[in-house]
Structure 1
Amino acid sequence: MAEAHQAVAFQFTVTPDGIDLHMSHQALTEIYLSGVRSWKKRIIGLKNSVITGVYPASPSSWLFVVIAILATMYTRSDPSMGLIAKIQEHLPRDGGVVRKDCQTLVSAVLFSTMLWLLLIFTMRMCLKQLLSYHRWMFEKHGKMSNTTKVWALVRIFSGRKPLLYSYQGSLPNLPVPAIKDTVKRHLESVRPLMDDAEYERMTKLSAEFESSLGKRLHWYLKLKALWATNYVSDWWEEYVYLRGRSPIMVNSNYYGMDFMYVTPTPIQAARAGNSLHAYFLYRRKLNKEELKPTRIPGTLIPLCSAQCERVFNTTRIPGEETDTVQHWQDSDYIAVYHSGRYFRLRMYHAGRLLSPREIEFQIQKILDDPSPPSKGEAKLGALTAGDRIPWAKARMKYFSSGVNKRSLDYIEKAAFFVSLDDDEQGGMADDPTRLDSYAKSLLHGKCFDRWFDKSFTVVYFKNGKMGLNGEHSWADAPVLSHAWQYVLSTDCFQLGYNAEGHCKGEVDASLPQPQKLNWEIPPECEEQISGSLAVAQALADDVDVHVFAFEEFGKGKIKRCRVSPDAFIQLALQLAYYRDQGRFCLTYEASMTRLFKEGRTETVRSCTNESSAFVRALEGGEAADVCRRLFQEASEKHQHLYRMAMTGAGIDRHLFCLYVVSKYLRVESPFLKEVLSEPWRLSTSQTPLQVEMFDIVNYPEYVSCGGGFGPVSASLTKSFNCLNFGLNWKPEINVHFAIGAFISSSHFNSCIYGANKFGAQIRKALRDLLQLLCPNQTELRKTEVKRPEFKKDL
């Protein structure tokens, strides 16, 4: 009850002598400071709304327009062509020279304001039209069309020093592709995967769908696109993520990894102190919209920032039919798990953010706390790792009132979740397979020591390594990756550590103790926790993970071969898979559609007729010149498909939405049913590096392993779509791969290669492609790619 008493600002009792009033000065101070923080956020939000609302102009430009209009009036000219006089006629009349001058001034100001708003509207419309033009992406380097030269005016209308959300009102809506184009491109994508009879059958299904039901479904989709900001995103979030009833651990959540060669400090609490402080610095920038809008590298073209709104203070809430994403405006604390216990740790004291040293001090208190977990508390997090329906029922039955509801609220409303792990992970000086264990721990842990529903969980290991686990429904990985890379950069290059490895700074002795959360878990709930843990543990045991860095060459060497790095990697994967399986497979590569409002992802189908022809030629022993020509054709095809996906002309999201419409209309489509059931046997993604945050030339050892995700197959035995990898590109350093596979997959057991051995196939394919394209560069010089010496700590 101590926590309950501390939370009350005042208490009173009625006695025969009157009312005895006791007020808590500390509680009242905290209430006051909390109110001040809240009002500051509102004022900043209002200011930013005004700045964003008039962008690409600025609020101060209004004064410039007013002064310009008044200046021209005093030269006895009328820039309004009589409109100022018309406005003056409708103002209240009151004789006198002074009154008349005031009316003239007010009329001029009103006209100036209307002119200013018209100019803003015109500039925003021009900017929107410019951002809707995407043909520049398809033009060859050095060959710019006249239209693209005019389009370069986007520089004029893009404004100066934009806030995070400045471009949101000017981004175009995602277009709906023509039904005939989608059907045609789908047929083209499945041709290398089917024999003649299968392809002929699919062609008939496609023609029947396009001429009949497809037109009807497409009409409804066009209607939605007229009033919806994005015709895909809401359905994608709901039906792909939130309506899934299987565990989100492994199946949906993804992970991010720490530096590969460097551990800045071996002290667990110190690493937490710096990085947690950096996270709240990032959140402060996010709340003030001081983060720069993400742009396409090398251009001024902005990407949608809508997903950034839910990075912090966000939780996925389980439901029996569908989950929901709940976001709170603010939270001044984090939820911490250690040794089966949950804590609430406030990150602000006396109206200020705790320093890194103070956070380290508080984290160390949690690590040193000898108190045992409450009955049923230790493995409570397993509820978030198991199936969603049992968790939804348990939450409603056992956590909807009393002390359990209060403690669960503290977790769900926290800025994010922190797990203090007792194991040591990371590092590869003596045993490279430790990276596999490290990645697997971040992906699922012990199945109860992460809170998989939170927007993200930061994990701190005993040896100072850290990582994160991200929930996928609220946003895609690049958004969380931006925050993660900011934290890594700030931790090492701005905050730093003292000679003993502790955080810098002093500690305020008046800091309150971290609050241990209390639970009252009944035996029936413990049974449910055990059931969810069993499901999660079986899933975790079924996952094979392999992470490795290909250090022989990187992005720079591939570019010197005049090849797109992304196309190079995708073709290497096609080659590796064909060598493994003796056939091709439907391949998923994630592309983003954030050139449009609320855009998320689109699929690039990397297995094409051109890539298949190249692989067959290479494996069939064709001449090198022939293989190089076929490689070039396959590379150009892949780049074209990637650009099509980015510019809203992909096929998979369109087909997905057509399928959703058919379900709403309760009509069956054999074509859509077959298309949506096609197994993705190879699922790939790429993790971008924010190069402005790292000096990879002078500090090449500060390179992250990137991240990864689990196998995405809906059926563990139906397909092998378990060769999933994440890429982290760094110029002239290396390429990182993270491969995940289901052990129970029939292909895993029947084929030669699991995740680890498939990595060996990828390495061989990369070498063979470089040998083919640049035979004179295969003797790699050590001066080109320096492998940083592994350091356990600095």
Structure 2
Amino acid sequence: MAEAHQAVGFEFTVRPDGADIKLSQEVIKNIYLSGVTAWRKRAIQFKNGVLAGVYPASPSSWLIVVIAMISTLYTRVDLSLGMIDLIKENLPRLETPHYHLGYMSVQTGKVLSAILFATLLWLFLIYLLRYSLKALLSYHAWIFESHGKMSSSTKLWLSLIKMFSGRRPLLYSFQASLPRLPLPSVDDTIDRYLESVHALLDDKRYKQMETLANDFRNTSAPQLQRYLLLKSWWATNYVSDWWEEYIYLRGRSPIMVNSNFYVMDLLYITPTQRQTARAGNVVHAMLQYRRKLERGEHAPVRALGIVPMCSSQMERIFNTTRIPGIETDIVQHLSDRKHLVVYHRGRFFQVWLYTGGRHLLPSELEMQFQRILNDTSEPQPGELKLAALTAGNRVPWARARLKYFSQGVNKASLQAVESSAFFLTLDDEAQGYDPAKTGSLDGYAKSLLHGKCYDRWFDKSFTLISYTNGKMGINTEHSWADAPIIGHMWEYVLATDCFHLGYTEEGHCKGDINKGIPPPARLEWQIPKEAKETIETSYVLAKQIADDVDFHGCLFSEFGKGLIKKCRTSPDAFIQLALQLAQFRDQGGFCLTYESSMTRMFREGRTETVRSCTSEAVAFVRAMEEEDKTVSNNGTRLELFRKAADKHQNMYRLAMTGSGIDRHLFCLYIMSKYLRMDSPFLKQVLSEPWKLSTSQTPQQQLNLVDINKFPRYVGAGGGFGPVADDGYGVSYIIVGEDLITFHISSKFSSSETDSFRFGQNIRKAMLDIQSLFKPTNHKTELPLMNGVSKGHKKDV
């Protein structure tokens, strides 16, 4: 045990002539170094906290203002308009029994008054700059302008943003300057909602919905809106806290597959085939990322490289766990934790991440992980499938946690898991994309999404998964943050792993090894029979869910973003319309479609819904399915495509700028529940199923790797489980200029869906839309890249 090894450094012996105390110099040295590191860390955090707190000013600017104010005392130019004299007169004075003199000299009083005035002026200027920047960031007309066309007002706005943003902002520098999420008007939201469902309902059902909407508009909506307006003034963000609580934490069904999502490794590259070496480099890179995160030293993510995004979600990447409850879960975020928990073949190990006040080196982490692989001990009774508790229903897990894991060794071991920096699984199988192996991407995705249902701790903010062939991946709990947050960290880690840390020729981590580091410690469990039964029940349910996931990974390499942009259209709109065409061909009809859009231009913003199945999209799809294949009809289809793409882009922009539909309706519904007001309209809206749920995985948030120079160092993206029992979940990533990956999920239990079939429909829809941009005029022809279409071959 690690505790036993550390105890050797301290010996205490009682003898007849007194006590004999021996201290190990190595232990004393480690204690000293740990203390030095801790104080250095506090000092850096304090310094960066001050820098972020006074941004967009700087501490040095305070000195400039003070010097300027003191200088006025000698030039007899009163820039304070009498304020310095007023402050001097009101400074506290000390009266003595014998002398009616001030506590300080007149000159000292003037200097102190000037310093106080300069400080107040400096703080006023900070708030003026901050609110000026907030006002500038509330301007969103730039996002609605056509690509490549920028108005004079937008150019001026961008110049002002650059000027007010300072030179080297830290991660949290812009937080206080981000505007609040605006509250849309009820009329706008209802009108947009009715417009969004018009194409999906027949005349009779649409009239019924219109009646419900107008009744709501004229009765309870004004009162609910007033309360919601009050919350929007008082709270930092009127949506995010309710979204986290009611959409995620109050859900009592399993979070595995239903909520958690996954992120894949590099698609084509595996830096080393050695499992423990790859895990060592990746974990060390994560520790580097965490250190910069805690100090706030990462550069803030900015749209166009200028407009800042909210960074609040990034605070909970590490040391975070979802704790189960009877009625609702909570998200527990702790301060810096110095260990992680590793799962391997049914055993749990605690691995310390620091020694002598520093991170373990990659080579030392590799040694620790190899020690775990070499450990031949068997799982303790009930330990093998223990993590299945996090994969089953939340209430049985919450009750079991209170009853069986609230005392003794079980409590200590569970605390070690839940307080760890993150959870690592050293898997016992190989995964990854192999072009020579059919279905390799499918198996890889399912392994990341649910694994064996007991070898990932689904409650941790993320579980890092390491495979025997050196491939990696992440399973992420969704309540604490959205996909771009974990994607930001993963991009940093992969770039650091491949281009900074590297490996030896034999595939091991670089660097020396301190073999005196105590080995990983086994966590101990004493699991009673009743707890084992709960574990088995959770596992059986989780296994049913996992076995029902029908997954297909589709690599679309016929063309990518490069060609789509030559068609003068948005890549996202192009893909979304292809998904609508594929959905119609697959299901013979249209359905309510969910596309996730971010609202991180606002403080504590998360996501909004873009309802991609518009009337314009329906008209385009119907035109594509007409039998007339003449060139003239293709012109009509292209015109309809342009209208549908423009409509989609406008809706996406509205969602990004706080004028979406669904989060507003969701909050009105929650408010109606608080006020115990019944609303048939809101009930109907919130009960509508999203049979097609889509999301785009962000790429190149950090730009650490030039994919034009290193085209094979690209990620495969990530995905999620199906949202509806009879629908599809589609995640896609636009990889560079010539590749788009689709992650498609559905359920085997549905006779209406087939993920592979839907993948082929997507491929054909993409090619059919692209063919609309191939006129007979050879000067403007846009041929297919890579020659002839690859047809219906399963590209995994």
Provide the secondary structure at the position in 2 that maps to 1:365: helix
Q: In terms of mean alpha carbon deviation, does 152-161 or 276-285 score higher?
A: 152-161
Task: Give, in angstroms, the shift of residue 773 of structure 1.
Answer: 2.3
In the other structure, the counterpart of 1:677 is 687
1:279-358 to 2 correspondences below 5 Å: 279-296=286-303, 298-358=304-364
Equivalent AA in structure 2 for residue 480 of structure 1: I
Provide the secondary structure at the position in 1 that maps to 2:694: strand
In the other structure, the counterpart of 2:269 is 262
In the other structure, the counterpart of 2:651 is 641
Instruction: Give TM-score scaled by structure 1 length.
Output: 0.94
Distance in 2 of aligned mates of 1:690 and 1:140:
23
Q: In terms of mean alpha carbon deviation, does 421-430 or 68-77 score higher?
A: 68-77
Distance in 1 of aligned mates of 2:756 and 2:788:
27
Q: Does the 8 Å contact 1:73/1:79 carry over to 2?
A: no
Distance in 1 of aligned mates of 2:29 and 2:234:
47
In the other structure, the counterpart of 2:732 is 727
Q: Does the 8 Å contact 2:774/2:783 carry over to 1?
A: no
Provide the secondary structure at the position in 1 that maps to 2:105: helix
Q: Relative to structure 1, is the Cα distance of residues 389 and 25 closer, same or farther in structure 2, using a 3 angstrom cutoff?
A: farther
Matched, 1:709 2:720: yes
For 1:479, which of 467, 470, 485 is the aligned residue? 485
In the other structure, the counterpart of 1:751 is none
Q: Does the 8 Å contact 2:386/2:535 carry over to 1?
A: yes
Equivalent AA in structure 1 for residue 720 of structure 2: F
In the other structure, the counterpart of 2:621 is 615
Q: Does the 8 Å contact 1:732/1:785 carry over to 2?
A: no
Q: Relative to structure 1, is the Cα distance of residues 783 and 546 closer, same or farther in structure 2, using a 3 angstrom cutoff?
A: closer
Equivalent AA in structure 1 for residue 747 of structure 2: F
Q: Does the 8 Å contact 1:726/1:738 carry over to 2?
A: yes
Distance in 1 of aligned mates of 2:27 and 2:453:
37
Instruction: Give TM-score scaled by structure 2 length.
Output: 0.93
Task: Give, in angstroms, the shift of residue 117 of structure 1.
Answer: 1.2
Equivalent AA in structure 2 for residue 730 of structure 1: V
In the other structure, the counterpart of 2:556 is 550
Matched, 1:184 2:194: no
Q: Relative to structure 1, is the Cα distance of residues 20 and 531 closer, same or farther in structure 2, using a 3 angstrom cutoff?
A: farther
Distance in 1 of aligned mates of 2:293 and 2:508:
28
Task: Give, in angstroms, the shift of residue 103 of structure 1.
Answer: 2.2
In the other structure, the counterpart of 1:470 is 476
Provide the secondary structure at the position in 2 that maps to 1:177: coil
For 1:667, which of 677, 682, 689 is the aligned residue? 677
Task: Give, in angstroms, the shift of residue 540 of structure 1.
Answer: 0.2
Distance in 1 of aligned mates of 2:149 and 2:425:
53
Distance in 2 of aligned mates of 1:741 and 1:370:
39
Give the alignment's Cα RMSD to 1 decimal: 2.3
Distance in 2 of aligned mates of 1:649 and 1:706:
28
Matched, 1:162 2:169: yes
Matched, 1:249 2:256: yes
In the other structure, the counterpart of 1:226 is 233
Distance in 2 of aligned mates of 1:781 and 1:618:
22
Equivalent AA in structure 2 for residue 180 of structure 1: D
1:212-265 deviation digits (Å, cap 9, x = unpaired): 011121111111112111111001001100011111000000001011111111
Distance in 1 of aligned mates of 2:366 and 2:514:
12
Distance in 2 of aligned mates of 1:207 and 1:178:
14
Distance in 2 of aligned mates of 1:656 and 1:455:
25
Task: Give, in angstroms, the shift of residue 95 of structure 1.
Answer: 6.6
Task: Give, in angstroms, the shift of residue 30 of structure 1.
Answer: 5.5
Provide the secondary structure at the position in 2 that maps to 1:457: strand
Task: Give, in angstroms, the shift of residue 6 of structure 1.
Answer: 4.5
1:485-504 deviation digits (Å, cap 9, x = unpaired): 11111111111111111111
Q: In terms of mean alpha carbon deviation, does 462-471 or 663-672 score higher?
A: 663-672
For 2:660, which of 643, 650, 673 is the aligned residue? 650
For 1:204, which of 211, 214, 217 is the aligned residue? 211
Matched, 1:626 2:623: no
Distance in 1 of aligned mates of 2:675 and 2:608:
25
In the other structure, the counterpart of 2:793 is none
In the other structure, the counterpart of 2:749 is 744
Q: Does the 8 Å contact 2:608/2:660 carry over to 1?
A: yes
Q: Relative to structure 1, is the Cα distance of residues 628 and 378 closer, same or farther in structure 2, using a 3 angstrom cutoff?
A: same
Distance in 1 of aligned mates of 2:110 and 2:736:
63
Matched, 1:367 2:339: no
* Structure 2, gaps ≥5 residues long: 95-99, 791-796
For 1:698, which of 701, 706, 709 is the aligned residue? 709
Equivalent AA in structure 2 for residue 767 of structure 1: L
In the other structure, the counterpart of 2:784 is 780
Q: Does the 8 Å contact 2:558/2:785 carry over to 1?
A: no
Task: Give, in angstroms, the shift of residue 289 of structure 1.
Answer: 0.7
Q: Relative to structure 1, is the Cα distance of residues 15 and 210 closer, same or farther in structure 2, using a 3 angstrom cutoff?
A: farther
Provide the secondary structure at the position in 1 that maps to 2:709: coil
1:758-773 to 2 correspondences below 5 Å: 758-773=758-773
Distance in 2 of aligned mates of 1:466 and 1:342:
19
Q: Relative to structure 1, is the Cα distance of residues 670 and 73 closer, same or farther in structure 2, using a 3 angstrom cutoff?
A: same
Distance in 1 of aligned mates of 2:192 and 2:246:
24
Equivalent AA in structure 2 for residue 362 of structure 1: Q
Distance in 2 of aligned mates of 1:677 and 1:96:
74
Distance in 2 of aligned mates of 1:475 and 1:317:
15
Distance in 2 of aligned mates of 1:662 and 1:585:
27
1:389-538 to 2 correspondences below 5 Å: 389-538=395-544
Task: Give, in angstroms, the shift of residue 20 of structure 1.
Answer: 7.1
Task: Give, in angstroms, the shift of residue 731 of structure 1.
Answer: 2.8
Distance in 1 of aligned mates of 2:410 and 2:17:
39
Q: How many aligned positions are there?
A: 774
1:83-127 deviation digits (Å, cap 9, x = unpaired): 222222234488799933222222222221121111111111100
Q: Relative to structure 1, is the Cα distance of residues 142 and 466 closer, same or farther in structure 2, using a 3 angstrom cutoff?
A: closer
For 2:154, which of 124, 148, 151 is the aligned residue? 148
Distance in 2 of aligned mates of 1:785 and 1:193:
33
Q: Relative to structure 1, is the Cα distance of residues 374 and 6 closer, same or farther in structure 2, using a 3 angstrom cutoff?
A: farther
Task: Give, in angstroms, the shift of residue 23 of structure 1.
Answer: 6.2
Q: In terms of mean alpha carbon deviation, does 198-207 or 65-74 score higher?
A: 65-74
Q: Does the 8 Å contact 2:37/2:358 carry over to 1?
A: no
Q: Does the 8 Å contact 1:88/1:104 carry over to 2?
A: yes
Task: Give, in angstroms, the shift of residue 386 of structure 1.
Answer: 0.7
Task: Give, in angstroms, the shift of residue 33 of structure 1.
Answer: 4.9
Q: In terms of mean alpha carbon deviation, does 539-548 or 737-746 score higher?
A: 737-746
In the other structure, the counterpart of 1:791 is none
Task: Give, in angstroms, the shift of residue 7 of structure 1.
Answer: 6.5
Provide the secondary structure at the position in 1 that maps to 2:331: strand
Q: In terms of mean alpha carbon deviation, does 85-94 or 653-662 score higher?
A: 85-94
1:729-753 deviation digits (Å, cap 9, x = unpaired): 23313001100101112423xxxxx
In the other structure, the counterpart of 2:221 is 214
Equivalent AA in structure 1 for residue 296 of structure 2: E
Distance in 2 of aligned mates of 1:518 and 1:213:
56
* Structure 1, gaps ≥5 residues long: 749-753, 787-794
Q: Does the 8 Å contact 2:2/2:518 carry over to 1?
A: no
Q: In terms of mean alpha carbon deviation, does 378-387 or 43-52 score higher?
A: 43-52
For 2:576, which of 552, 570, 574 is the aligned residue? 570
Task: Give, in angstroms, the shift of residue 34 of structure 1.
Answer: 4.7
Equivalent AA in structure 2 for residue 744 of structure 1: S
Matched, 1:688 2:698: yes
